[in-house]
Amino acid sequence: MNRKELIAEIKKKKSCLCVGLDTDLEKIPGHLLEEEDPLFAFNKEIIDATAPFCVAYKPNIAFYEAYGLQGWKSLEKTMAYLRQYYPNHFSIADAKRGDIGNTSTRYAKAFFNKLGFHSITVAPYMGEDSVKPFLAFKNKWSIVLGLTSNSGARDFQFAPVGMEQTPLYETVLRKTSSWGNTENLMFVIGATKAEHLRKVRAVIPEHFLLVPGVGTQGGSVEEVMTHGAIPGEIGLLINASRSILYASSDKHFAKTAASEAARLSQQMVKFFL
The residues that are catalytic are 96
Number of residues that bind its own copies (CB under 8 A): 57
155 is a site residue for its own copies (CB under 8 A): yes
Q: CB–CB of 156/125 below 8 Å?
A: no
Q: CB–CB of 17/54 below 8 Å?
A: yes
116 is a site residue for its own copies (CB under 8 A): no
Q: Rounded to the nearest whole angstrom, what is the least distance from the CB of residue 243 to its own copies in the complex?
A: 15
194 is a site residue for its own copies (CB under 8 A): no
Q: Rounded to the nearest whole angstrom, what is the least distance from the CB of residue 244 to its own copies in the complex?
A: 17
Bridge partners, 186 (sequence order): 143, 208
Q: Which is nearer to its own copies, 82 or 168 (CB)?
A: 168
| Piece of the chain touching its own copies by CB under 8 A; list 4-12, 109-117, 226-234, 260-268 | 109-117
47-106 positions binding its own copies, by CB under 8 A: 60, 62-63, 65-69, 71-73, 76, 94, 96-101, 103-104, 106
Q: Rounded to the nearest whole angstrom, what is the least distance from the CB of residue 131 to its own copies in the complex?
A: 7
Q: Which is nearer to its own copies, 161 or 262 (CB)?
A: 161
Angle formed at CA 214 by CA 50 and CA 150, multiple of 5 degrees: 130
Q: CB–CB of 117/110 below 8 Å?
A: no
**Secondary structure (DSSP) of the chain:** --HHHHHHHHHHHT--EEEEE---TTTS-GGGGGSSSHHHHHHHHHHHHHGGG-SEEEEBHHHHHTTHHHHHHHHHHHHHHHHHH-TTSEEEEEEEE--SHHHHHHHHIIIIIIS--SEEEE--TT-HHHHHHHHTSTT-EEEEEEE-SSTTHHHHTT-EETTTTEEHHHHHHHHHHTTS-TTTEEEEE---SHHHHHHHHHH-SSSEEEE--BSTT-B-HHHHHHHHPBTTTB-EEEEE-HHHHTS--STTHHHHHHHHHHHHHHTTGGGG-
Q: Rounded to the nearest whole angstrom, what is the least distance from the CB of residue 266 to its own copies in the complex?
A: 27
Residues 6 or more apart whose CB falls under 8 angstroms from that of 30 comprise 249
The 225-244 site mask, x for binding its own copies (CB under 8 A), equals --------------------
272 is a site residue for its own copies (CB under 8 A): no
Q: Which is nearer to its own copies, 106 or 198 (CB)?
A: 106
254 is a site residue for its own copies (CB under 8 A): no
Q: Rounded to the nearest whole angstrom, what is the least distance from the CB of residue 251 to its own copies in the complex?
A: 26
Q: Rounded to the nearest whole angstrom, what is the least distance from the CB of residue 63 to its own copies in the complex?
A: 6
Q: Which is nearer to its own copies, 67 or 86 (CB)?
A: 67
120-139 positions binding its own copies, by CB under 8 A: 123-131
Footprint on this chain of its own copies (rule: CB under 8 A): 22, 60, 62-63, 65-69, 71-73, 76, 94, 96-101, 103-104, 106-107, 109-110, 114-115, 123-131, 145, 148-157, 159-162, 165, 168, 171-172, 175
